[in-house]
């Protein structure tokens, strides 16, 4: 399909469902059914089987006329992590069941990967899934689970074979968060909020049809999810001077009293770093247009965390009074993270989590060193040892 034909399809959508007079939910369903949700997905699943970068053409046309924003954009785990994994490893039935409501934002997703004893070493997860006929029975504990308190489904990594080395004994599932035995508890963060949770799984039963990929292929499937996650966190499309640097630039322009030679250099340094990050993200999306995400996502995610933390600190230094203010210390349970509509105190505190979530910066630097730069790998003494024999 040419760009002209793609634009004609967008124009037909807009003629049939004028954004000004069409309910947003109706418009989004029509957009999905027209293959304009994510054009690189197959036909019938919200796409047209086109190159990924052509989604920019669709989004630009829709923005130009004020079309409603897809609500799933605020549910990043489903769109950025679950959807690519279901597309790559799911059965036709799973793709048909989950992808449409996921994109429409009708069903929220969360990620049950990390555990108290297996955060940075994800392959060491201890949550067990034991097969009983056509079902699996799951017991264990997960932690740092964003949006678990509002999620309908979860992507779950569990150990199905403790007799083999840790990377080979894992399987990957879709978990119904409303199933008996699933308990979600809030984790209060430095911001005072509880967007994170810990999740306890006690004799939770799942049908084997909830499995993604083959039994024992969980590590392979999880790595596909993690690659997509890091791209979603660090490689999003952005306009020049957007994101957190926009707040610093706005403060600099509107308040001349904060300016000074030394501060000027620091503001320009952060502005240039933000622009380098934006352009690197554009290169990453070009790479994605040719295939699946590689290890570039790890580098982008490290850059994102460093940049968010340094910009949020600079913003407080430019406006010290803001450091003494905070929106609300009450325990609230937001469904998503929104940096730009909150105050600078929130941005500074919340940015501390950017170097932990989605893989710690230390682990991601190791990935870049070994997989991109080809440096010698770290010693891994438990690589060929059965998981049950590894000291914990």
Tokens of residue 333, six digits = 């349970």
pLDDT at 255: 83
* Highest mean pLDDT (candidates 76-85, 113-122, 178-187): 178-187
Domain ranges of the chain: 3-104, 109-218, 222-372
Question: Residue 141 and residue 198: Cα distance in Å, rounded?
Answer: 7
- pTM strictly above 0.75: yes
> What is the three-state SS of the chain?
CCHHHHHHHHHHHHHHCCCCCCCHHHHHHHHHHCCCCCCCCCECCCECCCCHHHHHHHHHHHHHCCCCCCHHHHCHHHHHHHHHHHHHHCCHHHHHHHHHHHHHCCCCEEEECCECCECCCHHHCCCEEEEECCEEEEEEEECCCCCHHHCCEEEEEEECCCCCEHHHCEEEEEEECCCCCEEEEEECCCCCCCCEEEEEEEEEEEEHHHEECCCCCHHHHHHHHHHHHHHHHHCCCCCCCCCHHHHHHHHHHHCHHHCCHHHHHHHHHHHHHHHHHHHHHHHHHHHHHCCCCCCHHHHHHHHHHHHHHHHHHHHHHHCHHHHHCCCCCCCCCCCCCCCCCCCHHHHHHHHHHHHCCCCCHHHHHHHHHHHHCCCCCCCCCCCCCEHHHCCC
Lowest mean pLDDT segment, chosen from 187-191, 291-295, 366-370: 291-295
Share of the chain above pLDDT 70, in %: 92
> Catalytic site residue 195?
no
Angle between helices 24-33 and 92-104 (to 10 degrees): 150
CATH no., domain 109-218: 2.40.110.10
Judged against a pLDDT cut of 90, whether residue 311 lies above it is answered with yes
Lowest mean pLDDT segment, chosen from 54-63, 88-97, 144-153, 382-391: 382-391
Catalytic residue among 107, 193, 198, 229: 229
Average pLDDT over every residue of 336-351:
83
pLDDT at 330: 64
Tokens of residue 8, six digits = 């004609």
Question: Residue 187 and residue 120: Cα distance in Å, rounded?
Answer: 19
Question: Residue 58 and residue 198: Cα distance in Å, rounded?
Answer: 38
Judged against a pLDDT cut of 90, whether residue 346 lies above it is answered with no
CATH no., domain 3-104: 1.10.540.10
What confidence tens digit (pLDDT) does each residue in 127-171 have?
Answer: 999 999 999 999 999 999 989 999 999 999 999 999 999 999 999
The domain at 222-372 falls in which architecture?
Up-down Bundle (1.20)
Give, rounded to a whole angstrom, the gap between the first and last alpha carbons of the chain. 54
Mean pLDDT of the chain: 88
């Amino acid at each position: 399909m040419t760009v002209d034909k793609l634009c004609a399809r967008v124009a037909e959508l807009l003629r049939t469902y004028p954004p000004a007079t069409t309910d947003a939910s109706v418009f989004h369903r029509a957009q999905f059914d027209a293959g304009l949700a994510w054009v690189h997905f197959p036909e019938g699943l919200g796409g047209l089987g086109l190159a990924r970068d052509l989604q920019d053409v669709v989004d630009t046309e829709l923005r130009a006329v004020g079309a409603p924003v897809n609500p799933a954009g605020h549910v990043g785990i489903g769109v950025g992590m679950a959807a690519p994994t279901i597309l790559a490893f799911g059965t036709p039935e799973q793709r048909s069941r989950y992808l449409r409501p996921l994109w429409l934002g009708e069903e929220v997703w969360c990620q049950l990967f990390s555990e108290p004893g297996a955060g940075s070493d994800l392959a060491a997860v201890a949550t067990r899934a034991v097969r009983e006929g056509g079902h699996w029975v799951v017991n264990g504990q997960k932690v740092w689970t964003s949006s678990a308190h509002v999620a309908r489904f979860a992507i779950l990594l569990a150990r199905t074979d403790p007799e083999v080395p840790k990377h080979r004994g894992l399987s990957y599932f879709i978990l119904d968060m409303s199933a008996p035995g699933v308990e979600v508890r809030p984790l209060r963060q430095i911001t005072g909020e509880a967007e994170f949770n810990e999740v306890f799984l006690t004799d939770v039963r799942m049908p084997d049809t909830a499995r993604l990929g083959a039994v024992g292929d969980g590590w392979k499937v999880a790595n596909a999810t993690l690659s997509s996650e890091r791209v979603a966190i660090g490689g999003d499309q952005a306009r020049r001077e957007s994101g957190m640097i926009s707040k610093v630039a706005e403060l600099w322009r509107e308040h001349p009293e904060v300016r000074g030679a030394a501060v000027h250099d620091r503001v320009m340094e952060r502005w240039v770093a933000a622009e380098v990050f934006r352009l690197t993200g554009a290169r990453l999306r070009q790479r994605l247009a040719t295939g699946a995400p590689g290890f570039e996502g790890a580098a982008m995610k490290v850059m994102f965390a460093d940049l968010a933390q340094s910009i949020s600190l600079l913003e407080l230094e430019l406006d010290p009074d803001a450091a003494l203010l905070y929106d609300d210390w009450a325990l609230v349970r937001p469904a998503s993270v929104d940096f730009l509509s909150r105050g600078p105190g929130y941005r500074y505190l919340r940015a501390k989590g950017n170097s932990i979530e989605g893989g710690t910066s230390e682990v991601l630097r190791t990935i870049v060193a070994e997989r991109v730069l080809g440096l010698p790998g770290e010693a891994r003494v438990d690589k060929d040892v059965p998981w049950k024999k590894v000291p914990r």
